[in-house]
Every structure is written in structure tokens, then in C-alpha cells.
Structure 1
Amino acid sequence: MTSDPIAVTGASGALGRRVVDRLLLLVPPRRIVAVVRDPDKAADLAARGVQVRHGDYDQPATLDRAFAGAGTVLLISSPELDTARRLAQHRNVTAAAIGADLLVYTSFLGADRPGPGVTEAHHATEAAIRATGRPHVFLRNPFYTDAFVHSGLRTAAEAGELTSGTAGRTLNTATRTDLAGAAATVLTTPGHEGRAYDLTGPLWTFPELAEVLAAHFQTPISYREQPPPGPMSYLHHLAATGALEQQTSDLETLLGRKPTTIADLVAAL
């Protein structure tokens, strides 16, 4: 790895900020470039010695300036839901990062296969990056454990019941903190060029989560099948079909330790 700056896009977001926090433990602050749409939201990073630069996925000129001198660029995928616009944004970043020695992209599990749905833009982005011929790494992230295991579960503990629409099937989610740690490893150590890592955490189920909550709060908590309302119903449906049961050792390998379990996360929360 070179000593050139490491640029992290979306550095003020939930994942990007964690990546920067981890990098600050591994490299001098001056080597880190936090690329953000609103520099004011990263003032605390600037105060820690990080280079904060304006970069907007929809404004290629800002990206050219943001990546100036960077040896490695981490493209954290856009939160945009429209596939065409999301792909266009990713292409803007890829084009602007032409001078970097390595482009790392946070993709998604299953992006190696074509098809509609959540992986469509990721699959196309991976293809676009490969087509450039430049050194790259794909970090195929799973859904975040944080979306399922959070402080709101205290309500379930108080009610004595946890529900889900997952049919008791296993989920391969991982915490943002663990995924950020894996990204930081790739950004700061050699030997990853050309790799695609399928990152998964320890498999867990909602019935198991009910047991963890019961032990933590020292109160009986039962489990019942009932799909949640709103957007989370889609994720629960995916789990119920077995779509979230793939597991690899890639995340553990990059972290150099076992990934965070739901029991660890409940205790931390």
C-alpha cells in the first residue's frame, strides 16, 4: 500500500463515519480524505486532522477535486433507490477516481448475479468498474444488523413479546461497525486487489433474539410470527424465503476476529 491519501465518500453517513473512525486508529489523520456533500456536517472530522472535501455524486466536477492526489478511493454506494440514478452516480465516482491506484466499492451480497431488485445497481456498478481495467475490490455487504437489533427492542422486552415475519429462518446480517472495520482493513493493507468479498455476520434468528433479550432484561419474552408494517416487511419476507442464509468467513478473515453477535450488540445497546 502507498502512503497516498485514502478518500472515503459518504464520510458523514452512518457507515462512512465509522470507516473514518477506524482509519484514524490505523493511519495519520492527514492521510484521510472525508468526501461529503456538506462539509459542515464533518467539522468534527476536520478538527481531528482529517481532510474534509466537498464531493457530490451528482456533480462530477466536485468529485474530481475531492479525489485529487488520492491513492485509494472507497466508494460507499449511494442511498438513492432509483436504479438508473444510482448507477449514474456510481459511474460519476468511478470516472472521477481514474487517477487512484485502487477503487474499493461497497457492493451488496448477490451482486455477482444479474437480476432486478436490490442488487441490480450493484451488479451494474461492479461491471462498470471491471470494464475500466483498474485495480479494484468489491465489498459485498449484507443487510445491517443495526436495522433489526436496536434500542427500540426495549419495547418488546417491556411487552414480553417479540414478533417478526421471518418464519424463524436465519439472517446473515452484520453490524455497520464490523463492515467498517473490514473496509478499513482493505484500505490499509496489501493483497486485496481483484478480490470480491462476500461479507456475512453470524447467522441468527428472531426466536434466538427473544432468548437473548429475555436473558439480558431478566424477564420472560415470547416469540410470535407477525410481519411488521412498513418497509421492514420486505426484509422480513426475504428472510422468510431463506434469501439471507448465505454465510462465508470473509468478514471474520478481514476483521481478524469473530464478527459481532446479536448478544454482543444487545449488551452494547
Structure 2
Amino acid sequence: MIAVTGASGHLGRLAIKSLLEKTEAGNIIALVRNPEAVADLAAAGVVVRKADYDQPESYVEALKGVDKLLLISGSAVGQRIAQHTAVIEAAKANSVGLIAYTSILKADKSPILLAQEHVATEKLLASSGVPHVILRNGWYVENYTENMAAVLEHGAVIGAAGEGRVAAASRADYAAAAAAVLTSDEAQAGKIYELAADEDFSMADYAAAIAKASGKAIAYVDMTEADYVKALVGAGVPEGFAQVLADADSAIKAGWLTDASKTLSGLIGRPTVSVADSIKAHL
């Protein structure tokens, strides 16, 4: 039995979709706060169990009989260590055979603010005694393409990444990699995968790709980190999260979100989806 946390989320749903290509629906457990949100998965034969971060004891029950667990990192920045701790402790109590955790690229060395909770979770896993594998996911290309409407409206991509490059891959690519690891015949415990797209791009490249696909004039406007924070706050982004996004751009500028190993495409057995194709799909 393979369980997936956050199964109603973007990555969780895609992970289950990929797992369904490799194993029977009855071997998959969707862990969700609201079971009604995944009624379609239940109809397809996937086992659905309620598991709520705010009710840690729910995970003890939800992980009964689980052999492998995909622990998708929580989305509540600042609360994830406590949330992940509850899941790991429940997995240990149920003698789960393997946890696959979605961390961040180069987590152990990266200065990016978002890496801090991932590093803490990796340490929790190391001290837990539960066999585990780390999936260090790079940036999601959807971090950009899902905000394309504003880019098209204003004719500009804004940021503080300078000429830095990012190897952003699609959620579907990362989901496929997770499914490949969880269904592999090879022992996975102790492995760390640094995962990123085959090709990287700069923000100027991204703007040019949107211009080519849309037929509209799109430019990249580079800002200081402080000015980028102000622009994001002005657009309605909470200041704390704006700081996190601006910090990520600084990390891109310094080269922390690119990787040339092609480990991701090696796991999924095909090239990663290009940024141009991602843009076309979202347009």
C-alpha cells in the first residue's frame, strides 16, 4: 500500500495519477483533510482516508497498513516542521517501510529561506529511524505560468533574478519521479535525488518565450530585491510571502535553483517538459 499526503493538492493529484499508471488503484491511499475533495479518486478505486495536520492523531489511524508513504511537504510556510513531525511519528508508529519526502533542490547547502524547513524535516527523518528517500524538487514551472495573466496584461515579467537561471520543471514531471521511486524494484532508502528540468532559463528567456507564444511584446524588468518586494506587496501579496519570493529570486541569481545532472528525466524515462511547452499549455 502506497499512501500520499496532500492528495487533493496539485502535486498530490498528479502523483496519484502517475501511481495509477504503475499499480492498481486499490494499492493507493489518498490522505486528505476533506475526503469529499477527492470523490473522483474514490470512484476510481483509490482508498481515501482522512488525515488532518491539525489533528495529528488522525495520521496514526490513516497510516495503518501503509508500506510506503509519499510525504508531500506542507504548503503552510512556518508551520511545516510541526506538521511533518506528526506525519513522521505516525509513520514510525505504524512501521511504514519507506517515506519519500519532497524537499528542495540542494537543501543541505542552499541559503534560500524556503530551504530551512526542508532541512529541518530531512534531519527529522534521519533521526526517526524510518527508512526514507529524499526527493529534492527544484522550482515548479507553474510558479511562473500560473501567473501569466498578469504578465500578458502588463507586458512584463518582473523579478530580482538578474541573469540567473532556473531549471524549473512541471509538477507532472516531479510527480512522475515520485511514482517511479515509490514503485521501483530497487532499494531506495538512504538515497537523495536532486531533481530539476533538463534545461534552465533566465527570466529574460522566459519573457521572450511568452512573447513568442502569445505574439505580444513582453519584457523582463529586473529590480532590486527590496523593490521587488514592494511591487509584490502592491499587487496584493502578503509582505512575508513577498520576502520569501524575492529571496528565491536572489537564490536564482546566485545559481541555487539549477542543476545539470538530468536526474529527473532519468527517473521518468523521458525529457522533462520544456518551458515553451508549459507556456503554450497555459495559454
TM-based fold match above 0.5: yes
Counterpart of 1:112 in structure 2 is 108
The within-5 A match list for 1:190-229 is: 190-191=185-186, 192-201=188-197, 202-226=199-223, 227=228, 228-229=231-232
Partners of 2:25 and 2:273 lie apart in 1 by 27
What is the CA-CA distance between 1:61 and the residue it aligns to?
2.0
Counterpart of 2:168 in structure 1 is 173
TM-score normalised per structure 1: 0.89
Unaligned residue ranges in structure 2 (runs of 5+): 234-241
CA contact (8 A) 1:34 1:51 kept: yes
Counterpart of 2:90 in structure 1 is 96
The within-5 A match list for 1:67-86 is: 67-82=63-78, 85-86=79-80
Partners of 2:149 and 2:117 lie apart in 1 by 36
Q: RMSD of the TM alignment (CA)?
A: 2.1
Count of residue pairs brought into register by the alignment = 262
Distance of aligned partners of 1:112 and 1:159 in 2 relative to their CA distance in 1, 3 Å threshold:
closer
What is the CA-CA distance between 1:161 and the residue it aligns to?
4.0
What is the CA-CA distance between 1:153 and the residue it aligns to?
2.5
Partners of 1:23 and 1:80 lie apart in 2 by 25
TM-score normalised per structure 2: 0.85
The answer to which of 58-67 and 239-248 deviates more is 239-248
Partners of 2:20 and 2:61 lie apart in 1 by 22
What is the CA-CA distance between 1:257 and the residue it aligns to?
1.2
Partners of 2:155 and 2:50 lie apart in 1 by 47
Alignment of 1:87 with 2:84, yes or no, is: no
Counterpart of 1:233 in structure 2 is 246
Q: Which of residues 57, 61, 77 is equivalent to 2:57?
A: 61
Give identity over the alignment, percent: 35
What is the CA-CA distance between 1:219 and the residue it aligns to?
4.1
The answer to which of 85-94 and 26-35 deviates more is 85-94
Runs of 4 or more above 6 Å deviation: none
Distance of aligned partners of 1:146 and 1:114 in 2 relative to their CA distance in 1, 3 Å threshold:
closer
Q: Does the residue aligned with 1:257 lie in a helix, a strand or coil?
A: coil
Partners of 2:122 and 2:8 lie apart in 1 by 24
